[in-house]
Amino acid sequence: MLVRKVTRLDGSPPAGKASFPMRTVSGIDVADTPLVSRAMEIASAHMSPYLFNHVMRSWLFAVAIAEGRGTAYDAEVLAVSALLHDIGLVKEFAGPLRFEVEGANFAREVAVAFDVDERRAQLIWDSIALNSIPSICLHKEPEASLCALGVGLDWGGWGYDTVPAAVREGVLADYPRLDMKRGFARDVCAICGQRPETTYDNFARDFGVRFVPGYQPTSMVDVLFNAPFDE
């Protein structure tokens, strides 16, 4: 089994581990640890096929981007973050918070159960909770930024040409999209209908406004001008 030494941009190893066993998925070398296997098992068991394929592609694209840039990163943290970044869309993991936060809370619990230290577990949380806010997430640690880049490439095509065509085609052949655009829109619209209060300040709002009858998001302008102050 291939073992690759992993270091951060400052030259230090990831806290708690200096190296990870690796395996090849769709021609891309990725971390192969019990925690990564558990994250993949959870995603496969609970996500619909289109969503599971999306998180797999997001992970693989994130790793490909890192390799292309020569970015040092914690391969285990990135794997868990990408694989579980949409677990909050799944009914069994839904809750009163916005779906990214529900997913981040769950993923952190999984990581802690595998004795991941507090800093790395928090980095998993940040990577998932902020992945849909690239204007913030892209300026965080490499793992969070890479997670957002991988997700963004697969979701919206951002950075499409940063990954070689042969790599994209190989990933898509192994993990086809399975009508992802409609499937994702359906799942987000369900949240807008069932828990609209969790969608007013994030991208899900756009889906509610476009597709969900009766969806009436709160205006932040109204919040400001209705605040209980004279000026």
Burial class of residue 166 in the structure, from the number of CB atoms within 10 Å of its CB (0-12 exposed, 13-18 middle, 19+ buried): exposed
Output the pTM of the full model. 0.90
Helix (H) / strand (E) containing 53: helix 49-69
Structure tokens at 26: 């769709």
pLDDT at 1: 34
| Ranges of residues in the chain whose predicted pLDDT is under 50 | 1-18
Q: Please provide residue 19's backbone torsions phi and psi, each rounded to the nearest 5 degrees.
A: -155, 160
Q: All domains of the chain, ordered by start, with CATH?
A: 2-178 (1.10.3210)
pLDDT at 19: 77
User: How many other CB atoms sit within 10 Å of the CB of residue 24?
Assistant: 10
pLDDT at 13: 43
Q: What is the pLDDT of residues 122-134, one digit of tens each?
A: 999 999 999 999 9
- Contact by Cβ (8 Å): 137, 131: yes
pLDDT at 18: 42
Q: What is the pLDDT of residues 12-53, one digit of tens each?
A: 444 333 479 999 999 999 999 999 999 999 999 999 999 999
pLDDT at 57: 98
- Contact by Cβ (8 Å): 184, 54: yes
